[in-house]
Amino acid sequence: MALLASCVVWMPSPAVAFGTIDGGGQNREHERITRAAMACPAGAESDGDCFEPKSLDQLAGHGKSFGAVGAPDRTEVSVPAAHCDDADYLDGSYPRTRAQASGSLLDCVNHLRGRFREAVDIAADLLDDQGELVGAEVDLGTDCVLDPGSEQRAKCKTVEAFGRALHGTQDFYSHSNWADAADPSRAIGADNPPGLNLPAPSAVLDLRGTSAPAVPAALSTGCFVLRDRVPGVEACEGRITHAGLNKDNGLIDPSTGSTTEPTTPRGKVGDNFAKAVAGAIVETRHQWQDLRAALEAGYGRQKASLMICALTHDDPLNDCRRRSPATVVVVISIGLIGLVGAGFLLFRMRRQA
């Protein structure tokens, strides 16, 4: 959630998640995390694990474009489930129960599961009835438009749905205490909740699943209102707040994922900002692996391979069609005909000799 913005014009509002723009305390953190996780090495063709430059631009954003991962900061800025907010809990005397906090966290997980399933479903439109790529559906002659009403290309719509899921999973590491540590110089409390110091990926973010995930007893995300502060006010009075828990902002190297200059209070404690970013990078890669697995489970290995190629390659029609079943059959047939012909010619030559 950071600033309510469009790709051309933006208006300031409180920074409330990994950043999406340059300015207002943000450093395009979502874009940089996504690039560190998903970019192919310079000049390398994608093998399905990474995204080539133009395709990565659509997922991560570039210039003034938010990219798919930044889309929730345009249209879901006030939806807590899109950013894993409001799942706060502290053992002892606290305004919310563990069950209430877990319910809010499940709202987030279910919201992201919906986006994940949306990506899997839309991917079907990348192929025609014969299992071949549809040129108009994978073309990137122009950037994707983050507007479901006007964007029709299946590649863009699939990438956007997946990017929206990634946004929430990345925010989970900034907005929760999953990977961080409390300030050791202060007592544990609502303004200094305990840190779990757990690794990524998180089993809580099982977007392929359908059941409620197991939630650690001390897991918390921050309560958020527009007047976000410590101590909390309005609905967040007496509660762990986003302002007190987030590790949203700092500098991230988009190539290596290394971090410097954290700016939020919780992010400045130890290496909390670095842990949040590292967790988000690992989770991003994990979710891409899970999406690939979901495509294979839903469409079969051959079609899924073609879909994955189309999503990750900048020129799918030239780079991926050779991988389609029909093309493979043709190539093998031509090869076999050539071998038979060469054998027959060699036989004739030996007979004549």
Q: What is the pLDDT of residues 126-182, one digit of tens each?
A: 999 999 999 999 999 999 998 767 899 999 999 999 999 999 999 999 999 999 999
pLDDT of residue 21: 64
Confidence of residue 18 (pLDDT cuts 50, 70, 90): confident
Q: Which residue has the higher pLDDT, 317 or 19?
A: 317
Domain membership flag for residue 84: yes
Specify if 344 maps to a domain: no
Q: What are phi and psi of 5, to 5 degrees?
A: -150, 165
pLDDT band at 19 (very low <50, low <70, confident <90, very high): low
Q: Which domain holds residue 298?
A: 4-319
Q: Is residue 124 part of a domain?
A: yes
* Total number of domains in the chain: 1
**111 within some domain:** yes
- Identify the band that residue 25 occupies on the pLDDT scale cut at 50, 70 and 90: confident
Let me know the angle formed at the C-alpha of 71 by 68 and 75, rounded to the nearest 5 degrees. Answer: 155
**276 domain residue, yes or no:** yes
| CA pair distance 196, 178, nearest whole angstrom | 5
- Residue 326 falls inside a structural domain: no
Q: How confident is the model at residue 10 (pLDDT cuts 50, 70, 90)?
A: very low
Tell me the pLDDT tens digit for each residue of 206-243: 999 999 999 999 999 999 999 999 999 999 999 999 99
Whether pLDDT at 14 is above 50: no
Asked if the model's pLDDT at residue 323 lies above 80, the reply is no
pLDDT, residue 322, reads 56
For residue 233, is it within any domain?
A: yes
Q: What is the dihedral of CA 72, 78, 80, 83, to 10 degrees?
A: 30
What percentage of the chain reaches a pLDDT higher than 90? 79
pLDDT tens figures, 56-92: 999 999 988 889 999 999 899 999 999 999 999 999 9
Q: What band does 258 get if pLDDT is binned at 50, 70 and 90?
A: very high
**Domain assignment present for 142:** yes
Q: Give the separation between CA 353 and CA 351, rounded to whole angstroms.
A: 5
The pLDDT of residue 12 is above 50: no
